[in-house]
Structure formats: C-alpha cells, structure tokens
Structure 1
Amino acid sequence: MARILAEISRTFGEYLLLPNLTDERCTPGNIDLSAPLVRHRVGELAPIRVATPLVSAIMGAVSSVELAIALAQAGGISFIHQNQPISEQAGMVAAVKRHKAGFRHNDVNIKPSATLDEADTLFKRTGSDVIVVTDDGNPSGTFLGLITTQDFNFIRHRRDEVVDSRMRTARELVTGAEGMSLAEANSLLWDSRQDVLPVVSADGRVTALVHRRDEALHHKFSNETVDAAKRFRVGAGVNTHDYLERIPALVEAGADVLCLDSSDGYSVWQQNVLAFVRKEYGDAVRIGAGNVVDGRGFRFLADAGADFVKVGIGGGSICITRDQKGIGRGQASALAEVVAERDAYAEETGMYVPLCSDGGIIHDSHMAIALAFGADFLMLGRYFARFDESPTNKVKLAGQVVKEYWGEGSSRARNVARYGQGKDLAFEEGVDGYVPYAGSLYDNVTVTLAKLRSTMISCGAISLRQFHDTARLVQVSQQTFVQNSEEVQRNERPTVA
C-alpha cells in the first residue's frame, strides 16, 4: 500500500520572514554572502567557495561562455551544459579558463580588409564592444589595431568600407607588455586614457586585453570566483551515459567543478558516476549530484561521495515534470527536509555537504526565503536567461523585448541523456518560451545582492550561516496573498487640455 506523507507540499511563496533584532554590526558592508560550493570538514573552509551564492543552471539557453565570465566576475559560478558534443562543451570550458581576473583573452578578431558590415555582424554576434584587428583575423595573428562600436556609424559610413579605414592602429595605441601585473596594466590604462589596453608579446601578438570597466566591476563585487592562478572558475554538467569520455575531457579543459545533470538523482546510475570519479581522481575532481527532494535521496548521494547535492524536482519555471509524471515536491518542503538531513549528516560524520536549491524561485524575495531555509547556494535558469550575457536571441513579442528560453526537457533541447528516455524523447518534461529581457547581468545581480543584504540586516544576520541558524519564518494565509496582490492605480499627472 502506498505511503501518504502527512504534509502539504509548500513553496517559497507561502512563507514570510519575521524580523530579528538589528544591531550595530548589521550594515551592508558587513554582510557576508559567501558560501561553500563543495564538501568540507566541519569547522574548516571549503576548498571552493563563492562570494555570491548564485550559480547558473546547466542549460543551453543560459550558461554561455560570456555569462560564465560575467557571473564569475560577480562572485558566482556557471555550469556549462552537457547537451552537446563533448569537444564543444570542453571548448567552452577552456574558453572561460583562458580569462584571468582583469586580463581577458583575445577571443574576437577580424582582418583589416573586412568590411564594416562584417565588423557590425561580429559585434552583434559576440556581444563585444571591441574587436582586435590582426593580419589574418586570428588571435595568433600580428596585432594591427582595435576597432570599437564607437569608431563607425552607418549614418556617416558605408557598410562596404573596410575596417582598416576606421580602426585605431597599433602605432596610435598605448600597449602593455606581456607579463606585466594587473596593477601596472590598470595604471597604464588610466594614464593612456584608453578604454582598452592591449597586452602585446615580443613577437607582436595580443596575449590579453585589460578593460577599464573590469576594474570598476572588481571594486563593485570585490571577490571574483577565481582559482589559484587567478583564472575564472567554471563548472560543467555531466550525465550518466557518456561520463567515461566526457569527464576526462572536461577535467583536461580545466573545469573546476562538475555536476550530474538529471531531474531525478536518487539512482544507482549517479552512484556509479560518483564511484568512477573517486576511483580515478580522488578528491582532485569535485562533482555535485541530484536532484533530490527528501532526506533519503540526500544521504544516498552524500554517502556515494557527492561534493554537493541539488534539491528540487518539478519546481523550475519551464519544468513540467510534475504535470507529465506526477513526481515532485514543493521546493520549500523539499528543502526543509533535506536541510535537516544535511545537518544530521554533518553531526554524524563531521563532513558538511552543501545544498544547492534548484527551482521554485520567481522573485528575488524567494531567494532570501530559500537561503533562510538553509540552502547554501541557488541554481537559477530563468533569472539568468533574461540577461545580455545569456546565449539566446532577443526578439520583440507583442511590443515587448524578450529572450528565448527553453527547458532541457523540451523538444527543442531534446536532452534525452538528462531525462533517461532512451534514444528518443518520447514526451516533454520542459517547455519552450520566452522571458522578459532584463539587460546586463552585472546591473541585475547588483540589485539582487542589495535586496539579500537588506533582508539579512532586518533578520539580524551578517553571514549566511547565521541566517540559516536564526531566521524565523511564518506560513502565510490566503488572505495575506490577497492583501499583497491588491492593485493600486498609479497616480499620474493630469494632462492639460
């Protein structure tokens, strides 16, 4: 006979936080949002941490190279999706790892004989605002100059004019020498009054670009997610089918952390992958697992060696697993049980296995609720899909600018490896749609972090650990929902007839 749990499945939107005493320590500058990304001994720091407890979902519509770099700058980390050939995923990981904090790799190049129309296409395709001009149009070519979006305008210039006619030549530019420190590069950048400083090797190749805006971003976010060599950290998704080939390729490409990508992680297949990683790499390779919705699933994966465990089934904005299969649990209920099991596991074993809450977040306030429930960090899809840095197209729909967004369980993604449906996708567990365009990741993450800090201040907490331990939540009634959703007509200035 089926066992029926004596609970109602709850979501984050059904709870509110109660304020605690705010004391003198509770100021925005004192709030520490850093979190462990991988397992560690209780009382010790995790070997990989993030200053911002936000990670991007393992989705083709979300985690591009550009977004991975931007999110690492903002203190989080991205997971490059696995629904692609191994060589392409490894190439994306390697592309992120080529960038060091403050030093960007020379990824966007063009020949001087190319047309301004070709340059314009390249700007739009890459999202870059500067292109390095080399003799052969390749990163390894001889540096000839730079062309930016400010160097031409099609009201004044013809599309068939060549790049050579509008670029700033290498002779006109101040350049840095290979091997210089970031402090030296930034000083030279400001002294030159340039927005970009090319760092050039003795044989005339651009080895890096230093952007004025990156220094401002460093001061804005303070703690980029970097490895010991100051390269941006990046994660990568793996599956339980081709892991014997995919994992070594990703490790070789430089992936800092891996994550099993599945809607249901409570399986011997994930146990087998974790066993392979521990046998082949020991603790040198870090790998998370999931997703689970109860304590049994957490303990199974923690015992199998998972470095973190993802919580959530069916709560994603583009996930329809609950509708299609009748499987899942409200994200708040799932997280509450798994957090209790995580803490019991830490008490019993002395090993803390972080939790990633994946799904169920609609508003920024839900992020605060998830962290209060005890999540160490949050995996977000829809949130990041809205930004300039995500890989999807901007389109206009009913007069509104939107970005394309699809689930890994949709026909568009056809991610059969993630959903275990054999060679063909028999039915969908995700949808294909659009999300409102929201602009820059940097601007939006800044606002989100400000809200999280403000919430923690009101709750009297200055660290996420303290927030976990002292937050008080109350379930809200239907009348609370009604009160919060009452519409008010905006007071607009009357027009003069």
Structure 2
Amino acid sequence: MKILPEISRTLSEYLLIPGLTTEDCTPDNVDLGAPLVRHRVGEESAIRVATPMVSAIMQAVSSPTLAVALAQVGGLSFIHQNQQIEDQAADVLAVKRHKAGFRTSDVTVAPLTPLGEVAQQLAATEQGVAVVTESGKADGEFLGIISLDDFHLERHGASETVSNRMRGRDELVTASASVSLSDANELIWQHHLDVLPVLEDGRVVSLVLKKDYQAHKTYHRATVDNEKRLRVGAGINSRDFKDRIPALVEAGADVLCLDSSDGYSEYQAKTLEFAQEQYGDDVFVGAGNVVDGRAFRYLADAGAAFVKVGIGGGAICTTREQKGIGRGQASALLDVVETRDAYAQETGVYVPLCCDGGLLNDSHMAMALAMGSDFIMLGRYFARLDESPSRKLQIGGQWYKEYWGEGSQRAQNAARYGQRGQMVFEEGVDGYVPYAGSLYDNVERTRAKLTSTMISCGATNLRDFHRDAVLVPVSAESFKQTGAEIQVRRPAIDAAE
C-alpha cells in the first residue's frame, strides 16, 4: 500500500493568472488548432483539429448527424461502439460521404417513380433534389435529376411519374469526379446552376449544390481528409477488435479509440499491438483512460495514437462511488502532462493528451488546455444539443435532452466495465440535461471564450498556452467570494421597463 503525498484536485480548484496581452493577441491571431495523433517532435501531426473538442464515445452523444456538424466546425466525433459492427461501420460511412462542398444524394429514384413518392422522400430527408437512375438505386446509371422546383403536386398530380418532369442528363451540365470544389463552384455560377452532378463511369458520385456555397465559406475550419471528406473517429473495445477494426478501417474511419473507463491494462496493449501489426502507421488508435504517468507511459510504449485522461470525473459517471477508483481531473492531468513531456524529450515522439471528464463549464475547458491537454472530450456538453441522437422532451415547462452513461443499465454496456456480459452494478446514471440548442452556436460561443482566455494569458496558440500559463490553487474563501448570490433583474418584474 502506498499513499500519495497530495490532495486530489479538480479543475475547479485553480485559476489562471493573466499574462501580458500584446498587440498580437487578437481574436483573429489566436489559433486553437491541436494535434490529434502522435507525431515526431518538430513535425506536424497527420490529423489535426482546428477546434480542440471531440465528442464522447456514447450512444446518447455521437451519432452521424452530430459527427457531421462537429467536423464542420473543426472538431471530431467518435461514433460509439456499443452496437453491432456493421451498424457502427455504416454510421462511419454515412459521415465520410459528406465531402466538404460535395454531398451524396440522399434520394435516388427511377423514371417511373410517382411524384408523390419523390415529394415524400425529399421531405423525409430534408433535401431539395433527387438523382434519377435507370434502376432507382444509387449505383445505377445516371439519367438526370428532379428537384422541388421541377414539379408541384397540385399542378402535376402525385401519380405522374418522374420521367415527365425530370431534367435529363443531356440537358445538364456535369463534372468529372476529379473536379475541385473551386472549379465546381465556378461551373455553377458560370452556367446559373442550382446543382452540379459529379459523375464517374456514368454514375453520380456526388452533388455540388449552389446553396452549399455559403456553407463552405462558413465552415472554413472543417476537419477534412485529403479528399475533402469530413473526418470521423470510432470507438473500439478490447474484445472484438480483430473484427471491428478492419470493418471500421474499410468504412473510412480516420482514427479509432479504445473505449474503457480504465485503460491501464494488457488488454489495451494487445489491441494496440494488433493494429500496429496489421496496419503499421496507417491506422491511429487512441487509448485510455488513465490518471497517472505510469499508465500513460505504458500505453504510449504500446503505440497509442493519443491517451485519454480521466477516471470518475464525468457528469454521469459513478465509478468513484461504486469502486473507489479515480483521481481529481486536475491532479491527473498535471501528472500525465509531466510524463508526456518527458516522454517526448526521451523518445522524440509527442503523444497528444485528451482531457475526458471533469469539464462542467467552459472555464474548465480553458483550465484543462492550460494544464497541457491537447484536446478535450465532452459528453454532457454535446448531449444537450439539437444534433445529439437522444430525445428532446419537456419537464415542468423546461426543455431537456435525455442523457445516459455507458456504465448505466440503459446502455447495457456491461463488457466495457468488465462485468462479463451482465450488469451486476452500474457505473453511470440515466437522466436528463437542460436543452441548449444548436451545436453550431454553442461551439462558436465556447471558442470565443477559449480565445478570450488565451488572449488574457498572452498566448495565441495552444503550445504557448501550455508553456506560459500560470495557475494558482483556489481556497474555499475564494469560492465564497465569487459565489455571492444576487437577484438577477428580469424585465417582467422591473417597474422601469
């Protein structure tokens, strides 16, 4: 038995001391970009994110819809692994089909398809245009397109067929699969098009829509691969990894991550070794979670692409009270960061750290990044948003989103916690979180706060923030001083309004 000579501290127990804000410290100059996977010191990481935020490997959080939205704003999602391999691979593939500026058709119809059916499919998928193929299948020979501008059900009738209202291939401007986005947009504006079909061997591989032009300008931070497809991650486990990893790689997953509350195990090392033997440096697998330098070094030596830090600090995690293991998130980070930096100096390899847990608000995110995290993983934060897959419901006049942990009975993820296929006890809860609106709005607000914090600390990039940040522990009295209760004025009760 050994007792560490320290107090286990959380991110709430520190404040940042302002640094010199120079004339260079402006919002436009601040770069929140971070490496996602291991790389040689002095070289660029093969995968970077412009927004250092990734979504948790959870059923209530990481759906394809959220993955697309988060990648568009510069982050990355990890599709959860508590599902059949083929279903997870399909989710990954759905995200990879979203090429920045290029999109696959969600609706494909045949010439004899009734217009009423076309209208229903377009409404269900919230799309405005359908591809027409000879077979009515996505891989069929391209014949033309039909959009909501080409017909009106009251005028043309629901039973009339697509062939009578479609725009045929011969009258369309098309492009080859090698076309760049800039050239595609040039064709759209030059020929006054609303849609440009992109073809390969007589089949549609993607569409470029005029309405997406502004979106492309808006999402200039998007996390994309070399083919301009959105990047996406996927969770794996240390049991069926020999089957799951190949399927996810085939589907196009850019990075994988072992999903476990405690990653300091030979099981994770064996999984990492399998990926290395099968794919070498072409497949990246993150590992964790850990709370000290010993565990970090073990996983880094085994080939982890990045290491997640945090046990028991999540909003819906009850590991500490159920099993008595864990560590305050700040203490864990400070320990692992020190080892990470020493490891980089010794080996010449930099292994990024992901702070996973203990992040209750935006200031905690700033603290985690200041302490040395390269990026942060969030569950509750994203579960609150429109793009998460959970239900939105009203309770007592307030809107909420459902949220449950992977260690809860609802998740039925017993194997993740070593319970041999049957949930004997829970390490997570099932509940609700206050609804918070759009991911796009929330992430932009968080980015603004992180940028402002870095400016106050005199840093314009995360590496400088790691190096120069000055932190101070906060006493109980300091908490009292900043927590004085006031009555917030509301217009409805303000006599002057």
Could you say whether these structures have the same fold, taking a TM-score greater than 0.5 normalized by the shorter chain as the test?
yes
CA distance in 2, matches of 1:389, 1:139: 26
Tell me which residue corresponds to 1:402: 400
Return the letter of the residue paired with 1:145: I
Q: Letter of the aligned partner of 1:22 in structure 2?
A: T
Q: CA deviation at 1:489?
A: 2.6
Q: Out of 263, 286, 295, which is 2:293 matched to? A: 295
> Shift of the alpha carbon at 1:29?
1.0
Question: What is the alpha-carbon distance in structure 1 between the residues aligned to residue 400 and residue 128 of structure 2?
Answer: 25
CA 1:439/1:188 → structure 2, altered by over 3 Å: closer, same or farther? farther
The aligned counterpart of 2:245 is 247
Aligned-partner Cα distance in 2 for 1:457–1:252: 42
**Aligned pair in 2 of structure 1 residues 73, 11: CA closer, same or farther (>3 Å)?**
same
- Using the aligned pairs only, state the percent identity: 59
Cα displacement (A) at 1:109: 5.0
CA shift for structure 1 position 269: 0.5
Structure 2 vs 1, CA of residues 444 and 214 (structure 1 numbering), >3 Å: closer, same or farther?
A: farther
Structure 2: distance between partners of 1:476 and 1:278: 44
Partner residue of 1:363? 361
1:301 is matched by which residue type in structure 2? Answer: L
Match of 2:146 in 1: 145
CA deviations 1:22-42 (Å, max 9, x no partner) are 001101111111111111111
Q: Which residue identity does 2:384 align to in structure 1?
A: R
Amino acid at match of 1:443: D
How far apart, in 1, do the equivalents of 2:191 and 2:402 lie? 40
1:219 Cα deviation (Å)?
3.2
Secondary structure, aligned partner of 1:209: strand
Q: How far apart in 2 are the matches of 1:199 and 1:116? A: 18
Q: 1:384 aligns with which of 382, 385, 393?
A: 382
Matched to 1:106, the amino acid is S
Aligned mates of 1:478, 1:334 — CA distance in 2? 21
Cα distance change of structure 1 residues 42 and 168 upon mapping to structure 2, 3 Å threshold: farther
Which residue of structure 2 lines up, in the alignment, with residue 328 of structure 1?
A: 326
1:57, distance to aligned residue in structure 2 (A): 0.9
> What residue number does 1:75 align with?
74
Letter in 2 for 1:348: E
Find 2:124's aligned residue among 122, 125, 130: 122
Q: 2:99 is matched with which residue? A: 100
Q: 2 CA distance for matches of 1:68 and 1:267? A: 29
**TM-superposed deviation, 1:416:** 2.1
Distance 2:376 2:160 in 1: 44
Aligned letter for 2:354? C
Residue 378 of structure 1 and its aligned partner are, at CA, apart by 0.5
Q: Identify the range of structure 1 (208-217 vs 441-450) with the bigger mean alpha-carbon deviation.
A: 208-217
Find the aligned partners of 1:53 and 1:450 in 2 and give their Cα distance. 13
Match of 1:442 in 2: 440
Aligned-partner residue type, residue 87 of structure 1:
E
Q: Does 1:314 align with 2:296?
A: no
- The range that moved more, 262-271 or 60-69, is 60-69
In 1, the alpha carbon distance for the partners of 2:15 and 2:303 equals: 35
Q: Tell whether the 8 Å contact from 1:143 to 1:206 is kept in structure 2 after alignment.
A: no
**Contact 2:115–2:158, Cα closer than 8 Å, also in 1:** no
Matched, 1:417 2:415: yes
Residues 1:487 and 1:349: Cα distance change in structure 2 (over 3 Å): same
- The CA distance in 1 between the partners of 2:7 and 2:211, in whole Å, is 49
Structure 1 window deviating more from structure 2 (19-28 vs 278-287): it is 278-287
Give the distance between the partners of 1:217 and 1:281, measured in 2 at CA: 35
CA gap 1:299/1:175 in 2 versus in 1, 3 angstroms: same
| CA separation of 1:303 and 1:373: change in aligned 2, threshold 3 A | same
SS at match of 1:277: helix
Task: Give, in angstroms, the shift of residue 218 of structure 1.
Answer: 3.7
What does residue 86 of structure 1 align with? 85
| In structure 2, C-alpha distance between the alignment counterparts of 1:163 and 1:133, rounded to whole Å | 17
Contact 1:109 1:131 in 2 (8 A): no
**Aligned residue among 451, 454, 478 for 1:453:** 451
Distance in 2 between the 1:417 and 1:446 partners?
36
Q: Amino acid of the residue matched to residue 275 of structure 2? A: V
C-alpha displacement of 1:47: 1.4
Partner Cα separation in structure 2 for residue 321 and residue 349 of structure 1 = 34
Q: Report deviation, 1:132.
A: 2.5
Partners of 1:295 and 1:337 within 8 A in 2 = yes
Following superposition, the deviation at residue 268 of structure 1 comes to 0.6
Matches within 5 A, 1:162-311: 170=167, 176-179=174-177, 180-189=179-188, 197-199=195-197, 201=199, 206-211=204-209, 214-311=212-309
Structure 1: give runs of 5+ residues left out of the alignment. none
Structure 2 vs 1, CA of residues 116 and 99 (structure 1 numbering), >3 Å: closer, same or farther? closer
Structure 1 length as normaliser, TM-score? 0.89
SS in 1 for 2:336: helix
Does the 8 A contact of 1:38 with 1:286 survive in 2?
yes
Secondary structure class of the residue paired with 2:385: coil
* Aligned equivalents of 1:448, 1:426: Cα separation in 2: 38
1:490–1:253 distance in 2 versus 1, CA, 3 Å: same
Q: How far off its partner does 1:14 sit?
A: 1.6
Is the 1:133–1:147 Cα contact (8 Å) retained in structure 2?
Answer: no
Could you tell me how far 1:3 is from its partner in structure 2? 1.7
* SS, match of residue 103 in structure 1: coil
Q: Is the 8 A contact 2:9 2:329 kept in 1?
A: yes
Task: Decide whether the 8 Å contact of 1:78 with 1:234 is kept in 2.
Answer: yes
